Chains A and B, each alone.
Chain A
């Protein structure tokens, strides 16, 4: 034993790590294998018996993971687009065109001190950002991204969406209350007042669509809009679309209704006492909210994943890969090196400054681009949901751009203007829209 410890002590640091990690990994692997063999069948049976539960867990996980790059993308978009509108260049240092700056922001937030003020209720203080974030993320479950690509096709999807969206208010109030700071409390109450006020026209404006489509399932509403461009509900419910968009702007705390954390005026409202990653969750939730609101607008009014027009030149080429037999294997082995050579050698031959290895690197990168393009093209041709996803994301990011564009343009409204607009204009307008829609449906049914 003494000899063993002496020998271990004489090892270098990498040696110590390797000689510790390898036995540990072996033990772990053996344990895992045993666990899989023993528990595997039971787990598989359980999973097979509870497919909806598994589907929910998997969907929630994927959506949770999806929100992070989405938030990064929207943060980058906001920085870059507003900068371009201000005649600046915006981020251009980290990554291509500065696209990794939002990741750096995330890491920065992660590394900051996570401070809890004296007198704060630590439990509620910690849970508030989680509630806000999870409330945002859970709404994504019912948003249909593509045909067959949604978390859950709830038959009360819209109700679930607004319920989950309203849950975020609880998080804001928790944050404001637990911070032990009167400004935080005022900010939280203010945020709650705003969101609760705009929740009403937001929900009422959608009721017209519910009457038209006869369902609360977001997926079914999207399906009802398939067909031509004029089947989209934005053409049947234009007033509802305008009301929904304005109310959604207020729901997502975006300019011109971003009074809850008007960054240039007040001290971030309910998030005054927050720092570090707990503040980061609020920050992330805000940008995830932008994506969600855009996605729901697209799903309800802009036809969701439906293409606005049919592709006029249908491509029917379906390569029969299985018919190639052993040739497929040869092709898989030969195409990458040949492609790299074919794409890289011209640089070597044309420009004497380029060394052979540099030409090969260029060829490798180009071949990867070509291969990815070919793969995406193949998927685009072969799978329905890829097309749908692309259309959905295009439309959604169009709306995200619109939100960012508005933030780059519009000044902030006063708090009394904000509340007055919600109660005096949006609410009567949405009620009018609802009654007119109901009347129209009755009349049309009576005529028939």
Chain B
């Protein structure tokens, strides 16, 4: 074959002529977006900024968008001590919203929390200090809060979540799971920490009549 002079020339020319009529591989990007296979997910990659710190802000948008729920996040708590698993993927939505709002510097709107502005959270802070802000001692913390307040206020759950780094929805789920914990008691349910506040409130209202349900105050756990 190769002894025929000029055959390579002819074969090369034939090759380019075939290429001339073949479909082109150029991607006409702005007009025609690239055709991506439906199962294509790209490559997961954590990026670092120029200071060597992670750019990830744990906003969980990726985890929420992940259709096969393969993205998960873990880390350490706010004091850099304990490994935390951020929870099951089906609940990332809630986490993401809160986290995004907190990053934006706004308070997290919570219609239940609004009722509990009056609650004194110093007791919760003392309990947390006693448990060393350890999310592994979650049941102990919650039991102590239940003993302190007579129920588990949503505001206390928020504080525990913030302080230990444990995920709020996980705390909420734990607290509502156990029978000995009562979450989100009505405003009328007093605990020991609220006595002073409610007494002061009663005193302030004494001139205009008592609170409507002041008479039937009952421990929240019994409801």
Contact = CB atoms under 8 A, between A and B. Distances in A.
Given A84-B24, A89-B26, A89-B28, A410 B12 contact: yes
Interface string B1-31: 0000000010011011101101011101000
A61 interface: no
Given A85-B19, A85-B20, A409 B26 contact: no
B45 to A, nearest CB: 30
Contacts of B12: 409-410
Contact of A87 (B13, B17, B22): B22
User: Which of under 10, 10 to 19, 20 to 34, or 35 or more describes the interface residues of B?
Assistant: 10 to 19
A408 B26 CA distance: 18
A405 B13 contact: yes
Contacts of B20: 81, 84-85
A100 interface: no
Contact of A405 (B16, B22, B24): B16
B93 to A, nearest CB: 43
Contacts of A87: 19, 22, 24-26
Contact of A409 (B13, B24, B25, B28): B13
Instruction: State the main secondary structure of chain A at its contact with B.
Output: helix
A85 B15 CA distance: 9
A86 interface: yes
A88 interface: yes
A406 interface: yes
A417 to B, nearest CB: 14
Interface in A57-105: 81, 84-89
Given A84-B20, A405-B17, A410 B26 contact: no
Contacts of B25: 87-88
B177 to A, nearest CB: 62
Nearest to A81: B20
Contacts of A408: 16
A87 B25 CA distance: 6
A84 B21 CA distance: 8
Nearest to A86: B19
A81 B19 CA distance: 10
A409 B15 contact: yes
Contacts of A406: 13
A95 to B, nearest CB: 17
B9 A88 contact: no
B7 to A, nearest CB: 14
Interface centre among B9, B13, B16, B28 (most CB of A within 10 A): B16
B26 A88 contact: yes
Interface string A386-405: 00000000000000000001
Given A85-B17, A89-B24, A406-B13, 18 more contacts: A81-B20, A84-B19, A84-B24, A85-B16, A85-B19, A85-B20, A87-B19, A87-B22, A87-B26, A88-B24, A88-B25, A88-B26, A405-B16, A405-B17, A409-B13, A409-B16, A410-B9, A410-B13
Interface of B: 9, 12-13, 15-17, 19-20, 22, 24-26, 28
20 contacts: A84-B20, A85-B16, A85-B19, A85-B20, A86-B19, A87-B19, A87-B22, A87-B24, A88-B25, A88-B26, A89-B24, A89-B28, A405-B17, A406-B13, A409-B12, A409-B13, A409-B15, A409-B16, A410-B9, A410-B13
**9 tightest Cβ-Cβ pairs between the two chains A and B:** A409-B16, A85-B16, A89-B26, A87-B25, A409-B12, A85-B19, A85-B20, A84-B20, A88-B26
